Amino acid sequence: MTSQLAERPAALTGGRAPARARRLTRHRAVMLLFIAPALIVYVLMVIAPSIQSIQLSLTDWDGINPAYEYVGFANYQDILSSDRFWNATKNTLILGLGSAVIVNAIALGVALLLDKLHHAQGFFRTIVYLPALVSGFIAATIWKYMLNFNFGAVNTILRDLGFGDAAMDWLGDNEIVVGVLLFIICFTLGGNTTLIYLANLQSVPQDLVEAAKIDGASRGQVFRYVTWPMLAGAVTVNMTLMMIAGWTIFDQVMVLTAGGPGFVSETMAFFIYKVGFGEYRAGYGSAAAIVLFIVVMATTVLANKYMRSREVQA
Amino acid sequence: MRNARARSSATPARGLSRRSLMQSAGGLSIAAAVPLALAGCGTGGGTTGGKTPIRFLYATGDDTWNSVAKAVADAFNAKSATAVVELDPLPAGTDYPTAMKTMDATGNWPALVDMRDTLTYLEAGKLAPIPDSVSGLLNDEVYAPAEDGDVYIVPTTALNGELGFNMVYDKDYFAEHGLAVPTTYAEFTALLDAIKGNGDAPLATAAGEIWPSDQLWKPLAAPTFAQYSEAGGFWNAVRAGDASIEDLREPLQRLKDITDQYVLEGWQSTQDAQTTTLLVNRQAVMSTSSAGIGRLNDVNKVDPDFNAGIFCIPADDGGINVLKDDVNGDSASGFAISSQAEEDGGKEYDAAVEFLEFYYSVDACNLMEEAGMIAPNVKAADEIVRNSTIPGAGDYFALLENPNLKFFQNSTAWAGFSTFHTFFRQARIEMQDGQTTIDECIAKSQEEFDNQAENE
Amino acid sequence: MSALKRRKERRRLTPGEVAVMAVLSVLVLAVSFPVLYALLNSFRSYAEITKDPMGLPTGLSFENYARLFQDTDYGEALVNTLVITVGTLVLLIAIVPMAAWGIERIGGRSSRWLYLLFIAGLMIPFQVRMIPLVSSMNQVGLYSTLTGVILVHLGGAASFGILLYCSFIKGVPREVEEAAEVDGAGKLRTFWHIVFPMLLPVTSAFVIIQALSLWNDFFIPLVFLDSSSAGTINVALSRMVGLLTSQWELIYTGAILAIVPSVVLFAAFQRYFIKGMSIGAVKG
């Protein structure tokens, strides 16, 4: 692409070399102007604060007092030796990876069902998307009340049906609370994820499927050897997007449990918010944020590498 | 509650405050005029019909305090020729300090603040001194100067310390089953056993938010804390190495035992205000509270027929140990005027002072009493008409006269304490919930304490 | 794209299809249950909800809705949310497609490096930049302003926008733009008159995805708007949860009101939505 671009203006001008170079420089300068507004906002809002975060993570800043001192890697030492942080990391992995896998499975299932429809597919595609319009925050807020131990709808139904023993303190029982969070996060039909799978399913060449069927392949075999490999790219995209979202799960935790009871359901994102803003430890919070960044980057790169290699083999 | 906000006459009918309109405008025109938006959003220090508007930020706790704030602000706005108070209620609990923190980050402090983590902000130079014209209205023992000799914080309500950390109970149930208010800790546990023996849940408490977990803990720990009152308080002793969190083992054990045996299930996710509902619905015979008469008032509003009473959990020797309010230090709370109010010629500061002078007037105190709150300890206390119509309020006043009542002090005059305090609450909930043992709870709390003390 | 076209001959409705339809309907109903439950309860009083959490409303009472607007700052929050969503979208469309085109056409190593710089943002969680952003916004006086929130959103959405537009622009032929340039049209005119119209499909996908996520966002306004602002609907609702702990009826009502605009928006642009999403999807 690069060489192409370099040659084209030359072909257009057909002039001498210096004019061509001047033209090229001017072209690039104009393009840079096009990029500039977005680049400035992006650097100011994303890159600069991220770098500043690294700096703050080496200080004992409380977030209020303008005076602070550099403490080296003390914050990182504290974090890595803190059970609380490791518990938050564990929850983040459970919720992030768990929701990525489960939501993708649901979305793929729904997309496969939709793909089977030859009538009213548009209508069903629309209603399947509807639940995705409800934000995680709103859904969690409603669930919080439905799951209330003493007055909530869920336990009331269970008790009325005679399953009083099954009524649980869904958001207060430390043994199940992370599972309940995972359930609520995954209580969806996928929305965008489903649409991406559906679009990819519909681009699977029908000839291939027909050919496989003629060769006597069962439905399962068609899926395993024809459809699934064709979806590999979509799986990579969807898993990556869901994992990035999963690592930073905050809304549901904030609304449903606020990290409790005790510390048991804190996630990394919640932990950073809590120590940075609630406990006056901006330096410490920044260090945790940097650790989160490393986790996100490492898992995204590794997962992509793994999934891309799968794509090639398939 | 938010409709109590005094809207200026210039405010459009759609319920938009002027500030937000300017913010909206700023948002839309950002590409063209960021500096304009800046001017629109930052200052907002205009006058409202010639009156200076000031914001009053406070933690919403119980309904009673919300209605007091509204009643007093309305009365003040009707009366004052120079100032208008706009209410700015924020949810209490662990989020209130967070909200204050973010408010601090705005550089846009309300003139009047219901203050928490006082020392942190005082040291950062965010508070303005409160003049004698205000503190002079109050009894001498309810305020105190900081190190520099100025007063920075004055009480919002009667400084009866943590006397409001009560058990609220169903008097009819007690009468029906021949139960009496306990006078020693042994009687208290016997009472819990008796209720349990009747097949009822003895106690509802809440840890859905983090702070209400103090409601059960503090009365249990009070006898231990009280022992260090003379020596400058328990936490200071821990800091000096003269005591340790290990010394709290007995109250922690009691906390654990009560939680395991007598507390209504679901406490981990129950919120403070919901214990009122649990009590009124008779799902529990008693509930914890930290609002004293305010809670009785709430109960009365939800169910006027409910016959509520209150008592304090007594110590082994029958003493009722109650933490006296700090009038200084990080745990002191009450009204503060922000130093930002002094800017721009100090108009907002003057308005805030005028409001506080009104707040401590007999008229305002009568409004507070009517709304169900006990008025602050003003010098003119004798002129206040006390409200004795709330069922159970007599119990509260009787507690004040109780010969076994002993106030103790436990000041925490360093800024890192609030960080530790939140941690300690969460660590206790974790222990009550059975996720950790008492040993582990003590060990990790001590470690956190040492960390925070070190960071000073 | 051609693969998208499938044989569309009339077929009979098979039992298998009916079963699939039934399964999908049940799934949708199950997943929508919390919302339906909140909707029903938004017409009931506190006493009714407490006594019988599973009861149906006895009538269509809008009292809770009226109370929500009278007693809380919900109306103001609604306007704030609208300003943030629309303001961010307009600015995104003003700067992102142009930048993506610039990145694709600048050529050389710069092209690749700029692209990577933007894409890196996808891996930087908001939490990483949150604390420094709060303090710098404060320094320049943009903290707790809608302007500040919009700027933070812009930075966050830029990466995804660049990813989406760049992958689309790769498939746009250069000949047309070059012809326009020969005609003497300036680059800016070439872009807005020739290139931008060709980007409409991806623009609709981008606008729709962003509109939903901006409208539904909770964390950024939570951190960047303080009590001097009524906040966005989600922030207002979260404050209400603290303020009205046991007033379920208002919480349910507020939740429903937060969903209504996105459903209306979706209903209005449903066609473009699905189409746009599919384009974005295949490209992605």
Per-residue pLDDT at A114 exceeds 60: yes
In which band, very low, low, confident or very high, does the pLDDT at B62 lie, cut at 50, 70 and 90?
A: low
Say what angle helices A83-116 and C15-41 make with each other, to 10 degrees: 130
Please tell me the distance in Å from A175's CA to the nearest CA on chain C. 24
pLDDT one-digit tens code per residue, B75-125: 999 988 889 998 877 755 446 766 677 677 666 788 999 888 788 888 888
pLDDT one-digit tens code per residue, C150-172: 999 999 899 989 988 888 888 78
Give the span between the Cα atoms of B63 and B325, in whole angstroms: 22
Chains near C with 3+ CB pairs less than 8 A apart are A, B
How much is the average pLDDT of A199-223? 83
For chain B, counts of helices (H) and of strands (E): 18, 11
Reported ipTM: 0.85
Radius of gyration of chain C (CA): 23
Any CB–CB contact under 8 A between B210 and chain A? Answer: yes
Please tell me the distance in Å from A170's CA to the nearest CA on chain B. 8
CA dihedral B192, B197, B199, B200 (to 10 degrees): -20
Binary contact (C127, A37; C-beta < 8 A)? no
Q: Which SS3 state, helix, strand or coil, does residue C52 take?
A: coil
- Residue of C69, C79, C223 with shortest CB distance to B24: C79
Please tell me the distance in Å from B429's CA to the nearest CA on chain A. 5
pLDDT for res A9: 43
Binary contact (C95, A41; C-beta < 8 A)? yes
pLDDT for res C50: 66
Please tell me the distance in Å from B454's CA to the nearest CA on chain C. 23
Q: Which residues of A touch B120 (CB under 8 A)?
A: 62, 64, 280
- Residue of A63, A137, A293 with shortest CB distance to C234: A137
Binary contact (C94, A285; C-beta < 8 A)? no
Binary contact (C21, A124; C-beta < 8 A)? yes
Please tell me the distance in Å from C129's CA to the nearest CA on chain B. 15
How much is the average pLDDT of B221-239? 90
pLDDT for res A1: 38
In which band, very low, low, confident or very high, does the pLDDT at C284 lie, cut at 50, 70 and 90?
A: very low
Q: Which residues of A touch B434 (CB under 8 A)?
A: 174
Mutation target among B34, B268, B454 for the A interface, most CBs of A within 10 A: B268
Q: Which SS3 state, helix, strand or coil, does residue C230 take?
A: coil
Binary contact (C35, A56; C-beta < 8 A)? no
Task: Return all residues near B214 (Cβ < 8 A) that are at least 6 apart.
Answer: B165, B290, B425
Contact between B278 and B204 under an 8 Å Cβ cutoff? The reply is: yes
Chains near B with 3+ CB pairs less than 8 A apart are A, C
In chain C, which among 17-56 make CB contacts under 8 A with chain B?
Answer: 50
- Residue of C131, C209, C258 with shortest CB distance to A289: C131
pLDDT for res C144: 80
Percent of chain C at pLDDT > 70 equals 87
Contact between C95 and C161 under an 8 Å Cβ cutoff? The reply is: no
Mean pLDDT is lowest, of B126-130, B139-143, C51-55, C236-240, for C51-55
Per-residue pLDDT at B1 exceeds 50: no
Cβ atoms within 10 Å of C69's Cβ, excluding its own = 17
Binary contact (A172, B426; C-beta < 8 A)? no
Per-residue pLDDT at B271 exceeds 90: no
pLDDT one-digit tens code per residue, A232-248: 888 888 888 888 888 88
Q: Which SS3 state, helix, strand or coil, does residue C143 take?
A: coil
Please tell me the distance in Å from C123's CA to the nearest CA on chain A. 6
Question: Between B431 and A191, whose confidence is greater?
Answer: B431
pLDDT one-digit tens code per residue, A39-58: 999 999 999 999 999 998 99
Chains near A with 3+ CB pairs less than 8 A apart are B, C
Mutation target among A272, A279, A281 for the B interface, most CBs of B within 10 A: A279
Could you tell me the two tokens for A203? 């681009």
Give the span between the Cα atoms of B74 and B66, in whole angstroms: 12
Whole-angstrom CA distances from C167 to A149, C103, C282, C283, C284 are 49, 11, 11, 7, 8
In which band, very low, low, confident or very high, does the pLDDT at B162 lie, cut at 50, 70 and 90?
A: confident
Per-residue pLDDT at C10 exceeds 70: no
Give the span between the Cα atoms of B217 and B202, in whole angstroms: 16
Per-residue pLDDT at B18 exceeds 60: no
Cβ atoms within 10 Å of C53's Cβ, excluding its own = 22
pLDDT for res A26: 80
In which band, very low, low, confident or very high, does the pLDDT at A106 lie, cut at 50, 70 and 90?
A: very high
Which residue has tokens 């002027």?
Answer: B18
pLDDT one-digit tens code per residue, A138-187: 899 889 888 888 878 888 888 888 887 888 889 888 889 999 999 999 98
- CA-wise closest residue to B68 among B399, B293, B311: B293
Any CB–CB contact under 8 A between C133 and chain B? Answer: no
Cβ atoms within 10 Å of B176's Cβ, excluding its own = 10
Q: Which residues of B touch C80 (CB under 8 A)?
A: 20, 23-24
Mean pLDDT is lowest, of A21-30, B80-89, C21-30, for A21-30
Point out which residues pair with B406 in neighbouring strands: B321
Per-residue pLDDT at B37 exceeds 60: no
What is the average pLDDT value for chain B, to the nearest integer?
81
Any CB–CB contact under 8 A between B443 and chain A? Answer: no
- Residue of B277, B415, B429 with shortest CB distance to A260: B429
Binary contact (A41, C154; C-beta < 8 A)? yes
Q: Which SS3 state, helix, strand or coil, does residue A58 take?
A: coil
pLDDT one-digit tens code per residue, C200-252: 878 887 888 888 889 988 889 988 887 667 788 888 888 776 655 556 788 88
From start to end of C30-71, where are the E strands? none
Q: Which residues of B touch A170 (CB under 8 A)?
A: 269
Q: Which residues of A touch B283 (CB under 8 A)?
A: 150
pLDDT one-digit tens code per residue, B336-367: 999 988 887 888 999 999 999 999 999 999 99
How much is the average pLDDT of A11-32? 68
Per-residue pLDDT at B283 exceeds 70: yes
How much is the average pLDDT of B231-258? 92
Whole-angstrom CA distances from A3 to A9, B230, B352, C114 are 11, 83, 70, 18
Any CB–CB contact under 8 A between C242 and chain A? Answer: no
- Residue of A259, A261, A263 with shortest CB distance to B268: A261
pLDDT for res B35: 31
In which band, very low, low, confident or very high, does the pLDDT at B252 lie, cut at 50, 70 and 90?
A: very high
Binary contact (B277, A151; C-beta < 8 A)? yes
Any CB–CB contact under 8 A between C95 and chain A? Answer: yes
Binary contact (C150, B27; C-beta < 8 A)? yes
Percent of chain C at pLDDT > 90 equals 19
Please tell me the distance in Å from C86's CA to the nearest CA on chain A. 17
Binary contact (C130, A120; C-beta < 8 A)? no
pLDDT one-digit tens code per residue, C36-94: 988 988 898 877 776 666 778 887 888 888 888 887 778 888 999 999 999 999 999 99
In which band, very low, low, confident or very high, does the pLDDT at B427 lie, cut at 50, 70 and 90?
A: very high
Binary contact (C151, A133; C-beta < 8 A)? no
Please tell me the distance in Å from A174's CA to the nearest CA on chain B. 7
- Residue of C34, C106, C259 with shortest CB distance to A133: C259
Please tell me the distance in Å from A192's CA to the nearest CA on chain B. 29
- Cβ-Cβ contacts under 8 Å between B and C: the total is 130
Any CB–CB contact under 8 A between B455 and chain A? Answer: yes
Binary contact (A250, C152; C-beta < 8 A)? no
Percent of chain A at pLDDT > 90 equals 22
Give the span between the Cα atoms of A166 and A37, in whole angstroms: 57
CA dihedral A227, A229, A234, A235 (to 10 degrees): 110
Per-residue pLDDT at A3 exceeds 90: no
Residue type, B104: D
Please tell me the distance in Å from C8's CA to the nearest CA on chain A. 8
pLDDT for res B32: 30
Per-residue pLDDT at B248 exceeds 90: yes
Give the span between the Cα atoms of A85 and C174, in whole angstroms: 52
pLDDT for res A12: 45
With CA atoms as reference, the chain B residue closest to C134 would be: B105
Contact between C119 and C126 under an 8 Å Cβ cutoff? The reply is: no
- Residue of B264, B283, B422 with shortest CB distance to A279: B422
- Residue of A148, A174, A278 with shortest CB distance to B433: A174
Give the span between the Cα atoms of C111 and B88, in whole angstroms: 50
In chain C, which among 103-162 make CB contacts under 8 A with chain A?
Answer: 103, 105-111, 114, 117-118, 121-133, 135-136, 151-152, 154-156, 158-159, 162
pLDDT for res B14: 30
Mutation target among B269, B270, B433 for the A interface, most CBs of A within 10 A: B269
Binary contact (C228, B274; C-beta < 8 A)? no
Q: With 0-12 CB in 10 A as exposed, 13-18 as middle and 19+ as buried, what is C102?
A: buried
Full DSSP string of B207-268 = -SSSGGGHHHHHHHHHHHHHHTTTTT-HHHHHHHTS--GGGGHHHHHHHHHHHHHHBPTTGG
Q: With 0-12 CB in 10 A as exposed, 13-18 as middle and 19+ as buried, what is C272?
A: middle
